[in-house]
């Protein structure tokens, strides 16, 4: 999803704009590789620190300590993250903006902090990881537009970045809802691991209903956006209604009566699919440059 998202942003939103872009094909490759490897490294370090919790929540999916030793898993994490950061430095220097390499260093640090400490903090971990999901959409815009920014192209570049920000916000709120639903699913392991999640703080039923209300807010916001900005684009309007609003409405209703771990697992997967469909909506929005 990370790779797909960035390729769609670059080749469906930025490339057709006609603006001068900073990255050549090999640099786009570096950007995508760096982001994908950072994501992979984050998953590895997360699995390392989640071994005991995953043994309760999903024992059949435990990898570290079962199929691969913890030491080797940590080595894999270091290799993936190091290659990602090096790619980031090469990319930033190739566009004469070495300061942009800091993005990859910060993301790597935040992913490690998330796995080790932030994930155990009420709301903080959910918000941080959702922000990183949204950042996947913004990063291509930063690397493609900032190095070639001029006063003459500023207005068009601001328009493109604001469009990317719209998608970023959508990805953030949907992923945040999914994080909370996953916490409802994983409440037993999280409780055993000493974590303080929303379901542990409120109780699983109250937390689920809170998320249901939160999703209702997302539905209202998306409906307003479609009515305000996409009303004349029938394809995009129908897409958002059927692929985003409809499934969100289903999850919202089901959360009100969800009672078992299986219920929350299914709803979490639906939200993940909605997130993917939100990213794919890039393909149906006709952009007026």
Helix (H) or strand (E) run with residue 34 in it: helix 25-49
Q: What is the pLDDT of residues 260-285, one digit of tens each?
A: 999 999 999 999 999 999 999 999 88
Residue 48: which residues within 8 A CB-CB, separation 6 or more? Answer: 64, 70, 73, 74, 77, 115
List the alpha helices (DSSP H) in the chain.
2-8, 25-49, 51-57, 70-94, 102-116, 124-145, 154-185, 187-192, 198-202, 204-229, 234-239, 246-257, 261-280
d(CA 197, CA 187): 8
**Lowest-pLDDT choice from 18-27, 33-42, 191-200:** 191-200
Mean pLDDT of 167-187: 95
Spell out the domains of the chain, with CATH numbers in brackets.
2-283 (1.10.600)
Chain-centre distance of CA 19, in angstroms?
27
Kindly tell me if the per-residue pLDDT of 289 is higher than 60: no
pTM over 0.75: yes
């Amino acid at each position: 999803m990370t790779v797909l998202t960035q390729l769609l942003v670059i080749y469906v939103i930025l490339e057709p704009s006609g603006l001068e872009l900073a990255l050549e094909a090999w640099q786009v490759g570096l950007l995508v590789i760096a982001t994908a490897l950072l994501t992979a490294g984050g998953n590895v370090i997360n699995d390392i620190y989640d071994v005991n919790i995953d043994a309760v929540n999903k024992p059949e999916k435990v990898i570290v300590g079962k199929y691969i030793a913890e030491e080797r898993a940590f080595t894999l994490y270091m290799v993936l993250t190091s290659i990602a950061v090096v790619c980031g430095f090469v990319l930033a220097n190739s566009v004469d903006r070495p300061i942009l390499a800091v993005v990859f260093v910060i993301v790597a640090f935040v992913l490690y902090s998330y796995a080790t400490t932030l994930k155990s903090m009420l709301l903080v971990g959910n918000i941080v990881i959702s922000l990183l999901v949204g950042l996947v959409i913004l990063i291509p815009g930063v690397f493609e537009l900032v190095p070639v920014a001029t006063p003459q192209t500023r207005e068009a570049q601001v328009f493109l970045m604001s469009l990317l920000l719209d998608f970023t916000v959508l990805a953030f709120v949907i992923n945040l809802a999914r994080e909370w639903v996953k916490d409802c699913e994983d409440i037993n392991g999280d409780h055993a691991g000493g974590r303080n999640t929303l379901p542990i703080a409120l109780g699983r039923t109250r937390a689920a209903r809170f998320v249901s209300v939160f999703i209702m807010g997302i539905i209202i916001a998306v409906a307003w956006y479609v009515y305000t900005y996409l009303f004349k684009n029938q394809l995009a309007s129908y897409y958002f209604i059927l692929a985003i609003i409809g499934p969100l409405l289903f999850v919202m209703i089901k959360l009100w009566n969800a009672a078992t771990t299986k219920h929350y697992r299914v709803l979490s997967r639906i939200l993940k699919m909605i997130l993917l469909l939100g990213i794919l909506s890039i393909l149906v929005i006709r952009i007026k440059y």
